[in-house]
Chains A and B, each alone.
Chain A
């Protein structure tokens, strides 16, 4: 889909901060010189077209007490689809990418407790039979910029 100038100005505005006031859409409309109906209509379209994935809070999983890790698997090419189906079936798996490397499946796992994280990893190993697996929890975060939507972890 193509975005016109008002779409882009609207997206820029609401990416940084969406108003936390009783009538946020009216406030956005005023800032952009449009009507509230126009803004609501555009947002509906941007959501329907998948440009906006979500409107609202991005939580800090650590502050919520969740623990996370990055996991890499070495999956034979003919098994990628089947292994991905198993991995993706866990709600704690938030992102999963196929990458061009010897470790070719990379996913982030987010669970409420370390015990649940271990249990999910064990279950993934058991159900896929994949033995070459790297569990790479972050030791230190130097940068995390979420305005770019490529991985919340």
Chain B
């Protein structure tokens, strides 16, 4: 469990690192701690995996990757681990999760985000993945519109 003090630090960090010469000093002052303590705390969070990555979150549509599809497969329960690991090993797959099927309406239990430069390329990649995994039943769900994207603000209200 996180202590209240750690939650305060997380609240301060999640707004982002300021564009100032001594950005950690700026944040540390607000938190009434030393810059050194704050830097050590960030390293701790990284080591514990509380912070997964410390860097820039970039909108990659601006960097040449334009298409992505959410792909869902219907995989027999006894093969899901094998197939999940296999799909995850592909570079074009950024996310790969097992989720519950909801029968009869929704038989799909393996989900992946597949990235390509065009929708056609996403379809080709998906066909290749499906052949490799030996699974025939799948759908590609292309996004038509982004309705919301905003990072979670953590610990804004008491539980």
Does A4 make an interface contact (CB < 8 A)? no
Q: Complex formed: what's the CA distance from A142 to B89 in Å? A: 9
**Bound: A145/B95 CA distance, A:** 6
**Chain B interface mostly:** mixed
**Given known A-B contacts A51-B58, A138-B98, A148-B94, A20 and B156 have beta carbons under 8 A apart:** no
Distance in Å: Cβ of A121 to nearest Cβ of chain B: 14
Instruction: Decide: B95 and A60 in contact? CB cutoff 8 A.
Output: no
B49 in complex: contacting residue of A47, A63, A91, CB < 8 Å: A63
- The answer to whether A100 and B96 have CB atoms under 8 Å apart is no
| Complex CA–CA separation, A20 to B36 (angstroms) | 10
- Select from chain A the residue with minimum beta-carbon distance to B113: A150
For A147, what are the chain B residues with a Cβ–Cβ distance below 8 Å? Answer: 53
Q: Are A20 and B85 in contact (CB under 8 A)?
A: no
Choice from B53, B63, B87, B152 contacting A92 with Cβ under 8 Å: B152
Q: Is B50 touching A64 in the complex (CB atoms < 8 A)? A: yes
Query: How big is the A interface, by class?
Result: 35 or more
A149 touches B146 (CB 8 A): no
**Complex Cα distance A20/B84, Å?**
35
Q: In the complex, what residues of A have CB within 8 A of residue B43's CB?
A: 20
* Further pairs besides A55-B55, A139-B98: 10, Cβ < 8 Å: A1-B62, A11-B63, A20-B24, A60-B50, A87-B147, A100-B142, A100-B144, A143-B112, A144-B94, A145-B94
* 20 A/B residue pairs, CB under 8 Å, sorted by A: A18-B55, A52-B56, A55-B57, A56-B54, A58-B57, A70-B99, A87-B148, A94-B149, A96-B149, A97-B146, A99-B143, A99-B144, A104-B144, A112-B159, A140-B84, A141-B98, A143-B87, A143-B93, A146-B52, A150-B94
